[in-house]
Amino acid sequence: MGVFFSTWYLMRCFALGCYEMWRALWGSSWPTVEATIVGVTLDEHRCERLEFTYPVEGESYKGHLTRPTVFGLQRLERRFRPETVVAVHVSPGDPTKSYLPAGTGWAAAIAAGVPGLVACGVIVWIAMEVWGHYAPGHATTP
């Protein structure tokens, strides 16, 4: 059971890292505004959740960034202290959409994704070996 949970966790880390890279591609062209860090918390999935507020045309908006804690490292908590002012990219058409470049997307995706992909491959191979012998019409050789 632990192998399946670990594989799921690593694949989730990989997916979040890839999503972060994708957001960086389209979000980095947006204009920037100054945002204030509210704080960093750990959610129920052991992911860091960084919350920040930013003003656009006199209105205040809230944004967040979610990152997995890869191998127990809590990078956002060390890099972004409460009340720190940072630059945030905001969508010109929808100020509720924002992007805070945190700079660890590639590292997180690679560090978690490679072992996750290997673990998935091993689980699929084991499943094919075990269940393949019980398939109807499957002939085994001694």
Tell me which of 117 and 105 has the higher pLDDT: 117
The candidate with the shortest Cα–Cα distance to 100, out of 142, 141, 130, 67, is: 67
Task: Read off the pLDDT of residues 112-137 as tens digits, 9 standing for 90 and up.
Answer: 566 666 766 777 777 777 776 655 55
Q: What is the mean pLDDT of residues 44-57?
A: 87
pTM (global) more than 0.85: no
Would the pLDDT of 37 be above 90? yes
Q: What is the pLDDT of residue 17?
A: 66
Tell me which of 73 and 54 has the higher pLDDT: 54
Asked if residue 17 lies in contact with residue 101, where contact means CB atoms within 8 angstroms, the answer is no
Asked if residue 65 lies in contact with residue 44, where contact means CB atoms within 8 angstroms, the answer is no
The candidate with the shortest Cα–Cα distance to 102, out of 46, 26, 23, is: 23
Would the pLDDT of 140 be above 60? no
Confidence of residue 61 (pLDDT cuts 50, 70, 90): very high
Tell me which of 53 and 2 has the higher pLDDT: 53
How many residues can be counted in the chain?
142
Rounded to the nearest integer, the mean pLDDT of the chain is: 76
Q: What is the mean pLDDT of residues 99-122?
A: 66
